[in-house]
Chains A and B, each alone.
Chain A
């Protein structure tokens, strides 16, 4: 009697478990594509794609992309030329300078998606500059052009522009010679201030060339005209075009028989 009872209860219990089990057996498909339960909400906020990009500090061709989309969980990037990525914040290396349309698609779990195409500008932004641009540095190594130190003397009379120093060139052992980094195939405008004595014909011989290829024709090789007065500095500008493979540009002024003073030199890339 007592045993029978136990048996009956166990049988019932087992039967119950098995029966229940068949109802709640875990079948993914049942849960995944089930109709929404009561109280679940329809997604009304859809993805909105947006991104930004910055060039690597070391290599201008390497562009870092940043996803700025909202309501998205998967990302697809098309950099053109068959290159793609599914990372959130990918990095892509472009072939060189240019404008590349990049398409970015942001999607959510319900396959709602949004796309945006932004023209990515890849450009080399090297800013060229002369060291010791007022010639007022000590030692004068920046203007020595690898020939040791130029022996030009400092001069504050007449008053240089903005009170900066001036370089006095009054013999053939004095010169200005500096090589700076530039970009190939660009137009640069070099401006400096100068004043010369009124005797003679040239305030100095100006040579601007590709420092790595001195045998090729110089970008510019000419005499600097005497200044209009011998009592005050005046600015003068020269434009040069760098070669297709130029990396270093040499700027050189040699004494040409007339004492001259130079000050405040600058170089600007002309867009």
Chain B
């Protein structure tokens, strides 16, 4: 009898600590997000729209170290893009973050999986808003829809270029709908959806925001889509670039440094915002770009600049060079995204009071990119152009860099080089190499130079193994993984 209270105690405790085995045995796929409908009013729907941007923004590595608990959004993107080009590398060879620059990424890579999951988080939140759009005020429905579709297209455009065929999901799907969740859709069909979504966004939105989707953002991203898709639409790309140029809402900053250190300036078309010192609204990549004895991040140092890129800057950088990177005795580091209060010229360098909770925005699209895409669209896959409109756009970017000699002809290689130095460390180079059709040639040479093993199968990242494992044999892997 006197043991009964122990018995009760034990039973009670066991009720509390009993494991939810169901969740362990049936993990949810990354491409499914369980949602409870909490949408009651217009402001709930607006909160949901903002939530899509939140998925893109991601969670600072400094906040939650367990990568399985949260998605990092775009905060790992430089690993999947810049590190896989000839631009940058990881400071050391430790851990899965160091696999990207050596082309040794495998299907279990956590950063690649996190990025894949993050983009699907964006897509699912967007689809979810579209599902509850009727609850919003009638006057806001078109705008919310356009924003959701812009973000869905933005995420799919990243996915389709990195992973090729991916499951195309445009409605809310349950976690058990394997057919929808794991059937890979051909690239061309994914592009059809991306184009349709961006066209709708461009027709509905205005240019009143830079931190949220706008008409110019949709037009600019659509221009890039037209240039990238399997059968490029050069005329459409030119029209989209000219629409942004002729809007009169954007201009190049006269001082290159202001592009990065003056938030939402006239050159920014779309940026993901972060807030300095706020652990929940900040980013970790600024601190991760530091290495050696200056290490501010939790890792050894990322985006360490390759000599090959330094040579490109010496050739074509102009006054962009001093803004873009700084050479320490042991490494060359990115200086486009230094945390608030940094001074790398001091000895030792200082990085402000909240380097790990940095507020530097992630620049998704800026005006210089559009000007150079304008040149690319007019060149229309050719080897060179001397079209006056193209020369005009190109000259603006060159002039701002202090390279004021008149350009009378632009070759494809010159355009690629200009993009390389203008947009260095902004996660554009990888996609540029693919779009210009030179990724295989450039990266083979780069890998040979630095002793990495590269082959053309590495142009696609592996579909995350976790997804394949829970797809019941539906999801197939990319060749070579």
Please list the residues of chain A having a beta carbon within 8 angstroms of any beta carbon in chain B. 50, 52, 54, 57, 64, 66-70, 89, 127, 129, 131-134, 136-137, 162-164, 264
Contact = CB atoms under 8 A, between A and B. Distances in A.
Interface of B: 382-384, 386-389, 408-409, 440-441, 455-457, 476-477, 479-480
B386 A69 contact: no
Contacts of A163: 388
Contacts of B408: 132-134, 136-137
15 contacts: A64-B440, A66-B440, A66-B456, A67-B479, A68-B479, A70-B479, A89-B455, A89-B456, A129-B383, A134-B386, A137-B408, A162-B388, A162-B389, A163-B388, A264-B386
Per CB-CB distance, the 8 closest pairs between chain A and chain B, nearest first, are A162-B388, A66-B456, A127-B383, A68-B479, A133-B386, A163-B388, A57-B441, A129-B384
Contact of A50 (B387, B441, B455, B479): B479
A69 B389 contact: no
B384 A69 contact: no
Contact of A70 (B383, B386, B387, B476): B476
Contact of A54 (B388, B389, B409, B440): B440
B479 A132 contact: no
Nearest to B440: A54
A127 B379 CA distance: 13
A66 B388 contact: no
B315 to A, nearest CB: 19
A70 to B, nearest CB: 6
Contacts of A52: 456
A127 to B, nearest CB: 4
Contacts of A129: 383-384
Nearest to A128: B383
Contact of A127 (B382, B440, B441, B457): B382
Nearest to A50: B479
B12 to A, nearest CB: 42
B456 A54 contact: yes
B409 A68 contact: no
A132 B388 contact: no
Contacts of A50: 479
A67 B455 CA distance: 10
A264 B440 CA distance: 34
B457 A68 contact: yes
Contacts of A133: 386, 408-409
A64 B456 CA distance: 10
